[in-house]
Structure 1
Amino acid sequence: MPNARDLQPLPVPPGTGALDVLPALRRALDGDGPALLPVAADAPEEAQRLVTALGGPLNPGEDAEDDPTSLVIATSGSTGTPKGVLLPAGSLRASAEATHRRLGGPGSWLLAVPAHHVAGVQVLVRALLAGTTPRAVDTSAGFRPDAFAAAAREALTSNDPHYTALVPTQLSRLLNDGGEGLSALRGFDAVLLGGAATPPALLARALDSGVAVTTTYGMSETAGGCVYDGVPLDITEVDLDGEPGPIRLTGPMLARGYRNQPGAEAFAGGWFRTGDLGRFTDGRLEVLGRADDVITTGGEKVAPLPVERVLTEQPGVREACVLGVEDPEWGQAVVAAVVPDPAANLDANALRDAVRERLGAAATPKRIALLDELPLRGPGKPDRRALAEQLTC
């Protein structure tokens, strides 16, 4: 038998198969088994890469008898290098219980996002702590509105409050498809939306369509979302170093640190330094994007997220991603990848004019590329490195 405090891989099947990990997850939460490293069962090469980088016995300082490390969530952050986020049982429980308090009490959960990422794991943790039976969407053929509708019909039969979690691309597909998927989505008491920035136009469409969307901000290092609709959960403290300025977070949902990185600076002093920039607007936290995504063009600094928001507010724009690419004249040039609605006939000059009017000349994209879809990484974030390579070719 392996030592109980070894870190053991937990292959997590996609879709409905993810529910098979519930017994192991329960033991990990109770401290009755090894710490678990969730990996995608359908991506064996990537799983082995993570096991090689992160597996083995936990080191001193990576565990505690009174609050054992339950999960190590692999995350590449913005660097692509795998890091293991050490999540004690107490952090997972604190996050899940605070979520239920914010939403109106424990309820039934529908899993629609991959359960080897923190957002999906927390759907299962919340269900376990609520004592309810979670359901899962069949994603064997990708995320499809009809499969979501079928799973939702089963989930909505219980008498508990009904919750699910989505990333913006999933919500967009359900809204665009309409029909049974959207009808089922309206039946949920709360739809947590995270994993990537939510375009304001998408949020407005969802709310206008009768979907009870709650936007979330958080990461693996905070056991998932810890700021809902711009308001911190009752266990979360937010600190900004200036406005706008770097975001720091603390509270009982915080991770123990990183695997094999004792004393990581990101966790110094009991605060997690997110690497994001933010400001408070009307008392709510507004996240402006990654500090290392800020574009320096002609001596001016441009945060991509406000530009993306302006673009996605324009008629016919479904998604947008803004980034800087090397430019001999400007140092970096602001460029945008835009996914149009299928029937849209977009005018790139009109899009640029809209940005210039709202944000000024420096933020105006020098080039706009129309794409069928954005490359994604993780649970649904645009892959900026892949886009940069594509847009500089």
Structure 2
Amino acid sequence: MTTATVNIEPALAALAAALRGEGPAVELSAGPDGSPVVELVETPGFEDGAVVVRTSGSTGAPKATVLTVDALAASSMATAMALEGEGQWLLALPVQYVAGVQVLVRSLFAGTRPWAMDLSGGFTPEAFTAAALELTDKIRFTSLVPTQLQRLLEAPTVETLAALRRFNAILLGGAPASAKLLAAARDAGVRVVATYGAAETCGGCVYDGVPLDGVEVKISAEGRIMLGGATIAAGYLGGTDLTAAAFAEDDGVRWYRTNDLGELSADGTLTVLGRADDVVITGGVKVSAAHVQTELERLDGVRAAFVAGVPSAEWGQALAAYVVLADRSPEAADAFTARLASGNAGPLAGALVPKTVLTAEELLMLPNGKPDRLGMTFRLDARHRGK
């Protein structure tokens, strides 16, 4: 029988030394039993680097992002202010990615003892519930991705729901959360904060559309989201050109240029509209894959969806959808595909109807909980076969 939590003391010790400036930068990875493996990393050109985290690699090769002590401190302080307190954290995400390592970093700055869930057998509601019961502080936090939260809300046990309700806040990031999932969490009495950010911003830096204290947001001329302020990374290890392309200084503010499109309301609330590269030109019509994905997820019986453009001899690009249905039977898949083709799917009509649909039990995910965009696009391309 596995234990509910794993040993994170060596990782905490190495991180503490790096944050005090007494040791080299730290990069964490997961060992065979799920416990963190510490690698001490030199960061030439970034002498104040404390932590190195890899970007997700959801659309290409991961980049080694250097986070400084000052950036991590600013992020931790702003997070505590937004959550109205410092408390005990449960690590339920892979420690090698920014959302995971930040659980440990925030705990060190707060002086609280974190617990790390045993992920060696994968993420399950039972394992999460057991780990959550290890927490002893009255103020509790954790970070999850949408897929994890959905599994927890669908768990049949009252113990899992009770464990979720005991968290003062659950930071939800890594991928867009559907309105359906957020509503289900609210209805269940679970306090969820939808976060937006990246490894290059020390993780989530916009909570429920509102920038954290010290974080600045602006929209570039082409509509891309620009994130600035004290939480921005120093750059990429061994990637001078990549650093120059992604980061900039303007009037003393350091900015990170994201790959996402967005808009700001009059009161400064950010709405993320989707990726800048998700526009599919099909039959001469420009279609936002993110918009089609959102509309698919609003349909009854759809648990999750991913939409991409694939090569097409007839259309140039064809919309293709990877869809997870609540009913996993072949009959349900056939009925859903027929419903889309008939135009009986709400606003999805004409150019917005995917030409190819692949149903599956779950979306393909990367270890950090983000959708595996490349993997699903490859499968959709193979399904469509260029026609």
TM-score interval for Structure 1 and Structure 2 normalised by the shorter chain: 0.7 to 0.9
Contact kept, 8 Å, 2:58 with 2:366, in 1: the verdict is no
| Secondary structure of the structure 1 residue equivalent to 2:239 | coil
Do structure 1's residue 329 and structure 2's residue 314 form an aligned pair?
Answer: yes
Tell me what 2:290 maps to.
305
Using a 3 Å threshold, how does the CA distance of structure 1 residues 356 and 350 change in structure 2: closer, same or farther? closer
**Aligned residue among 325, 329, 341 for 2:326:** 341
Do structure 1's residue 136 and structure 2's residue 125 form an aligned pair?
Answer: no
Alignment partners' CA distance in 1, 2:100 and 2:122: 16
**Aligned residue among 193, 201, 207 for 1:228:** 207
Tell me what 2:14 maps to.
24
Using a 3 Å threshold, how does the CA distance of structure 1 residues 341 and 15 change in structure 2: closer, same or farther? farther
**Aligned residue among 250, 256, 263 for 2:228:** 250
For residues 124-168 of structure 1, what are the alpha-carbon distances to aligned partners after superposition, in whole Å with 9 as ceiling and x for unaligned? 11111111111122222111111111111221x323x21111001
- Could you tell me how far 1:76 is from its partner in structure 2? 4.8
Partner letter of residue 120 of structure 1? G
Do structure 1's residue 38 and structure 2's residue 28 form an aligned pair?
Answer: yes
Partner letter of residue 321 of structure 2? A
Structure 2: segments with no counterpart, 5+ residues: 383-387
**Aligned residue among 143, 148, 154 for 1:170:** 148
- Could you tell me how far 1:81 is from its partner in structure 2? 1.8
Using a 3 Å threshold, how does the CA distance of structure 1 residues 297 and 187 change in structure 2: closer, same or farther? same
Using a 3 Å threshold, how does the CA distance of structure 1 residues 88 and 324 change in structure 2: closer, same or farther? same
CA-atom RMSD in angstroms: 2.5
- Could you tell me how far 1:299 is from its partner in structure 2? 2.2
Alignment partners' CA distance in 1, 2:255 and 2:194: 22
Alignment partners' CA distance in 2, 1:96 and 1:299: 47
Do structure 1's residue 382 and structure 2's residue 366 form an aligned pair?
Answer: no
Alignment partners' CA distance in 1, 2:73 and 2:281: 41
Deviates more, 1:104-113 or 1:377-386: 377-386
Partner letter of residue 36 of structure 1? V
- Could you tell me how far 1:363 is from its partner in structure 2? 2.3
Alignment partners' CA distance in 1, 2:352 and 2:196: 25
Using a 3 Å threshold, how does the CA distance of structure 1 residues 78 and 139 change in structure 2: closer, same or farther? closer
For residues 71-116 of structure 1, what are the alpha-carbon distances to aligned partners after superposition, in whole Å with 9 as ceiling and x for unaligned? 1112254443231111001111111110110011111111100111
Using a 3 Å threshold, how does the CA distance of structure 1 residues 27 and 336 change in structure 2: closer, same or farther? same
- Could you tell me how far 1:319 is from its partner in structure 2? 1.1
Tell me what 1:89 maps to.
69
Do structure 1's residue 103 and structure 2's residue 83 form an aligned pair?
Answer: yes
Do structure 1's residue 273 and structure 2's residue 252 form an aligned pair?
Answer: no
Do structure 1's residue 215 and structure 2's residue 205 form an aligned pair?
Answer: no
Tell me what 1:373 maps to.
362
Contact kept, 8 Å, 2:339 with 2:345, in 1: the verdict is no
| Secondary structure of the structure 1 residue equivalent to 2:154 | helix
Structure 1: segments with no counterpart, 5+ residues: 1-13
User: What is the TM-score when the length of structure 2 is the normalising length?
Assistant: 0.87
Using a 3 Å threshold, how does the CA distance of structure 1 residues 127 and 351 change in structure 2: closer, same or farther? farther
Contact kept, 8 Å, 1:226 with 1:236, in 2: the verdict is yes
Tell me what 1:115 maps to.
95
Alignment partners' CA distance in 2, 1:89 and 1:110: 22
User: What is the TM-score when the length of structure 1 is the normalising length?
Assistant: 0.86
Partner letter of residue 280 of structure 2? I
Tell me what 1:7 maps to.
none
Tell me what 2:180 maps to.
201
> How many residue pairs end up in the alignment?
365
Tell me what 2:385 maps to.
none
